[in-house]
């Protein structure tokens, strides 16, 4: 246990909470949607805003790093102790698309606090969880009387995470020297629930593709031609239907090559969590579970690879009817990957499968976005134990282990920098990531601040260098 007076941390946070929330709201008002080309200026504005704010926080260095796409923000605050370990915090300042008409109760880019929750696109994913580090490091300094953090602290906040981080690996390779660290802390995940603080030990990877199917050169009359030529909408549906077998396993040949199955110990840890399937279903806004045979819901979302349809479209979708055979149709697919799966291999097997599955007379084009590798941290890693201790002090509860079903470019940091990746996140499943009415619980956000305040001290004093 560190000597940091926890009450001093809490007092500092309480007295700076209002300004912290005002600042966060200002940032959330910038609609930094990386997937929408017309928002490119807003994504740049978000990076500029963050760099300025980090300087104001006290980081001696805070820079906007351009990429071939949207810019990232890098900041650095060295420790006074040259022997202190170096920690790199990862997050992202871009957000998912959001529009009022998708079902938001208020403007997604005009933050509002209702019932102790802050509603806005990016409140939890990921601006809120990036931003708790600003007050966290100040609380750490104030409570310990330091003028610099107990670790060499670096932040890398990218701007294209919600677009699959197409330029992130290049950026990390390009700046590998300045990014060098002993450990990476990813603040872009969640925890089990408001009552059960947890540390995540791994993330699924992600591969995405869009397949466009072409039939007749133009829409043709379904009376004159129906029943005698292939219909690309039917072919699109056939592809999607062929994604899974009758056990809801992905039916693409070679898809499971190399998959690292769960150990018995991991299955036990998952099974020990207070999982209430009815409650989980409410969070999922769904009425039934469905998935790969032989696995629990937690195993399915954390440790099993998936194939999911994110969008499908073709033919006439307006009011009324239009008796056509459409000229084209498209499907957007995403594949969640687990340890042992290689995105390049997935692209290869998906391409082969799609080419095989389509009837004569249907031409197709398939494009893959950039992929994200899966990653996994050993349960017994000493730096992971620091995170668990810091979180335990903030939450005053035992901390358990989860994994994250979502995906992040953490594996690129692990690969390029050659360091372990740890996760510190306070978001909960009901926060509505990528959905309307995304929010963050204010209590938990402030526990995130507190955890960060303790973490630098614990890591600095315990000198958990990377192995």
Site residues for Zn ion, window 92-131 (CB under 5 A)?
A: 125-126
Closer to Zn ion by Cβ: residue 111 or 425: 425
- Among positions 427-446, residues that touch a second copy (CB under 8 A) are 429, 432-437
CA distances from 457 to 5, 125, 264, 401, 424 (A): 11, 26, 35, 22, 15
- Among positions 110-149, residues that touch a second copy (CB under 8 A) are none
Closer to a second copy by Cβ: residue 63 or 188: 188
Helix or strand (DSSP H, E) at 257 = none
450 touching Zn ion, by CB under 5 A: no
284 touching a second copy, by CB under 8 A: yes
Query: Which one of a second copy, Zn ion, none is in contact with 15 (Cβ closer than 5 to 8 A by kind)?
Result: none
**Cβ 395 to a second copy shortest distance, Å:** 21
Total residues in contact with a second copy, by rule CB under 8 A: 100
336 touching a second copy, by CB under 8 A: yes
Give the span between the Cα atoms of 100 and 123, in whole angstroms: 16
- Among positions 212-231, residues that touch a second copy (CB under 8 A) are 215-231
Neighbour tally for 363: CB within 10 Å? 13
Q: Compute the residue count for the chain.
A: 467
Helix or strand (DSSP H, E) at 406 = none
46 touching a second copy, by CB under 8 A: no
Q: Which stretch binds a second copy (CB under 8 A): 33-41, 75-83, 135-143, 459-467?
A: 33-41
Query: Which alpha helices (H) appear in 175-296, and where do they start and end?
Result: 176-179, 222-225, 232-241, 264-272, 277-283
Closer to Zn ion by Cβ: residue 57 or 187: 187
Nearest to 408 by CA among 89, 246, 109, 189: 189
- Which residues are CB-neighbours of 264 under 8 A, at least 6 positions away? none
102 touching a second copy, by CB under 8 A: yes
198-203 and 205-214 beta bridge pairing: unpaired
- Which residues are CB-neighbours of 13 under 8 A, at least 6 positions away? 135, 139, 446, 449, 450, 453
Closer to a second copy by Cβ: residue 85 or 406: 406
Phi and psi, residue 87, nearest 5°: -120, 135
Q: Which stretch binds a second copy (CB under 8 A): 6-14, 307-315, 342-350, 411-419?
A: 307-315
Cα-atom radius of gyration of the chain, to the nearest Å? 23
Closer to Zn ion by Cβ: residue 124 or 269: 124
**Cβ 346 to a second copy shortest distance, Å:** 15
**Cβ 164 to a second copy shortest distance, Å:** 7
Query: Which one of Zn ion, a second copy, none is in contact with 55 (Cβ closer than 5 to 8 A by kind)?
Result: none
- Which residues are CB-neighbours of 151 under 8 A, at least 6 positions away? 79, 84, 85, 86, 87, 456, 459, 460
304 touching a second copy, by CB under 8 A: yes
Of 78, 238, 340, 382, the residue at the interface with a second copy (CB under 8 A) is: 238
User: CB–CB of 346/337 below 8 Å?
Assistant: yes
Query: Contact residues for Zn ion (CB under 5 A)?
Result: 125-126, 188
């Amino acid at each position: 246990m560190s000597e940091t007076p926890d009450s001093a941390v809490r007092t500092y946070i309480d007295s700076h909470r209002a300004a912290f929330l005002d600042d966060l709201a200002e940032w959330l008002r910038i609609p930094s949607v990386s997937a929408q080309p017309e928002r490119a200026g807003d994504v740049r504005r978000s990076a500029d805003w963050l760099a300025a704010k980090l300087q104001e926080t006290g980081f001696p260095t805070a820079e906007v790093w351009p990429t071939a796409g949207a810019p990232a923000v890098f900041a650095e605050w060295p420790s006074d102790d040259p022997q202190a370990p170096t920690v790199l915090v990862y997050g992202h300042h871009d957000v998912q698309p959001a529009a009022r008409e998708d079902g938001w109760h208020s403007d997604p880019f005009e933050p509002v606090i209702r019932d102790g929750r802050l509603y806005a696109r990016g409140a939890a994913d990921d601006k809120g969880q990036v931003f708790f580090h600003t007050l966290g490091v100040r609380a750490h300094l104030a409570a310990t009387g330091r003028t610099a953090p107990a670790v060499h602290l670096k932040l890398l906040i990218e701007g294209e995470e919600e677009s699959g981080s197409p330029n992130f690996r290049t950026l990390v390779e390009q700046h590998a020297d300045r990014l060098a660290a002993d450990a990476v802390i990813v603040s872009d995940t969640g925890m089990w629930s408001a009552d059960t603080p947890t540390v995540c030990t791994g993330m699924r990877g992600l591969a995405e593709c869009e397949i466009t199917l072409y039939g007749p050169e133009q829409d043709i009359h379904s009376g004159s031609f129906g029943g005698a030529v292939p219909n690309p909408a039917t072919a699109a549906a056939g592809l999607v239907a062929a994604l899974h077998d009758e056990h809801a396993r992905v039916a693409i040949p070679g898809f499971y090559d190399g998959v690292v199955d769960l150990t018995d110990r991991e299955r036990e840890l998952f099974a020990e969590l207070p999982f209430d399937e009815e409650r989980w279903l409410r969070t999922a806004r769904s009425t039934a579970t469905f998935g790969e045979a032989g696995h629990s819901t937690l195993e399915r979302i954390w440790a099993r690879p998936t194939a999911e349809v994110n969008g499908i479209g073709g033919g006439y979708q307006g009011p009324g009817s239009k008796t056509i055979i459409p000229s084209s149709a498209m499907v957007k697919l995403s594949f969640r990957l687990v340890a042992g799966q290689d995105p390049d291999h997935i692209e290869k097997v998906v391409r082969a499968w799609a080419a095989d599955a389509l009837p004569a007379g249907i031409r197709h084009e398939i494009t893959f976005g950039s992929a994200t590798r899966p990653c996994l941290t050993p349960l017994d890693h000493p730096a992971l134990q620091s995170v668990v201790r810091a979180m335990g002090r903030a939450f005053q509860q035992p901390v358990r282990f989860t994994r994250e079903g979502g995906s992040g470019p953490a594996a690129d940091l692990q690969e390029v920098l050659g360091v372990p990746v740890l996760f510190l996140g306070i978001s909960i499943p009901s926060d509505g990531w990528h959905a309307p009415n995304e929010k963050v619980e204010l209590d938990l956000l402030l526990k995130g601040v507190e955890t960060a305040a303790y973490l630098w001290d614990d890591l600095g004093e315990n000198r958990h260098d990377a192995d």
